[in-house]
Structure 1
């Protein structure tokens, strides 16, 4: 048996592109879909045939978790912290036992704020044996050399990923999550293209970077057998982010 998860930033509510977003989702057919930038709260549930759980945002954009109709959701809620965007969680029944799923969209501009938001997320899953965190974390991993790609960006956008005091590339948010025990599923079993931005719709703020992640607690990470960035077809222009999918197998 298997469970497919997918995370997708659909860019400003998918305005004018929702049909294309729905086609991308249908291609993967995830059991659990994490969505960021649900501006205007588009009825993505109706388009995908999935049940929606949305966390609203006071200052940014909502995020949501969507569930296939066959999946049993045991509980759901929002993470009660002042995220710039939002964070949602759910507890679902799986063949491997109950799984906590969390989605978030971290602050895009300053690494210091991202690190604080990452700490809040780590707190959500710290007492959960089996948990997965999905989303647009707007952060760079601490395992790769990002300097050459960042150098192609204008200073305005490059500063989003640099220490404000001039100490190079800022990977603090992802390093914190790694220290708290969360496993980068793409790094564990990913294949193909690693970067999730930009698609053909992307603009000056992006170069080829991985900003979208599936992270899992160690016991849950062992379930995953596949992870890939979804490219081609409608995914090339449905958003400025490519979706990232991962499959757990028992």
Structure 2
């Protein structure tokens, strides 16, 4: 499961939002959880531990260069073989965790790419690809390994027409998703990850592509019905993937401005 929880669940006008975020996660009960926008949780370790305890998971946190931390949480009995941030100046951050499974080591990356610059997002994607290739004890070629990249990539995909949704954005937000010519939609980041061998799990037969922002009650003036959150897997892991979905309805409509994404895989922790 991946979830951008919007400023760590901290809103001056809505102190109950973090509780709704946790309700959404508890209902889904993921074995591996990627979280983004963990404002206040890096310095306040007690608060992070409280969140992890409520979820019954172990947290692995990575700070950002300018923005907010990200994390990967793992539910016992998952055995973590390695855990360390991708050491590059991401705007937000990237955490890399390697978990032992019956199919071999599973590398999980949680990230949140630069929201303002397509050029920066493309550079960050290159750092993620390099970071996935150097993940812990599993050092084989990237296309032959089990790697899952999850998070808010703040990027539009190259397989969909986006002119209408770009047109609905306020003028001040359109530049985030356009090339320097101010006209062409910037899809370079997802295209680069695709060329590196990552499979978009929502492009498989029988899976419905859905927007991930904004939610109906969580704000998000910078969005216009867009898919910015992704579950990307290397081919061996994609072959083990079952159902995947965007979680909508109930508390998910107001807990954040992003909907969470969930995928199931035919593998078990060892």
Q: TM-score, normalised by structure 1?
A: 0.94
Size of the aligned set, in residue pairs, is 245
Q: Distance in 1 between matches of 2:205 and 2:150?
A: 16
Paired residue for 1:205? 222
2:112 matches 1:105: yes
Deviation at 1:188, TM superposition (A): 1.6
| Residue 8 (1) aligns with residue 3 (2) | yes
Query: How far 1:202 sits from its partner (Å)?
Result: 2.2
For structure 1, which runs of at least 5 residues remain unmatched after alignment? 1-5
**1:160 paired to 2:176:** yes
CA-CA distance at 1:88 after TM superposition:
0.5
Measured against aligned partners, the alpha-carbon deviations of 1:37-90 in whole angstroms (never above 9, x if no partner) come to: 000004221221211000012311000001112211111101011101110001
Give the 3-state SS of the residue equivalent to 1:159 in structure 2.
Answer: helix
**Which of 195, 203, 211 lines up with 1:187 in the alignment?**
203
Deviations for 1:217-239, whole angstroms, at most 9, x for unmatched residues?
11111110111000011100000
Structure 1 match to 2:194: 178
**Counterpart of 2:63?**
56
Q: How far off is 1:97 after superposition? A: 1.4
Stretches of structure 2 that go unaligned for 5 or more consecutive residues are 42-46, 134-140
Distance in 2 separating the partners of 1:187 and 1:194 = 11
Tell me if 1:139 matches 2:139: no
* Residues 154-205 of structure 1: per-residue CA shift (max 9 Å, x gap): 1111111111223410000000000111100111256346110000212321
Mapped partners of 1:222, 1:95: distance in 2: 15
Secondary structure at 1:151 match in 2? helix
Structure 1 CA distance for aligned equivalents of residues 204 and 98 of structure 2: 24
**Poorly superposed stretches of 4+, deviation over 4 Å:** none
Aligned mates of 1:94, 1:34 — CA distance in 2: 18
Structure 2 match to 1:3: none
> Is the 1:32–1:65 contact (alpha carbons within 8 Å) kept by the matching residues of 2?
yes
Deviation at 1:122, TM superposition (A): 1.1
C-alpha RMSD of the superposition: 1.3
Question: How many angstroms apart in 1 are the aligned matches of 2:81 and 2:177?
Answer: 37
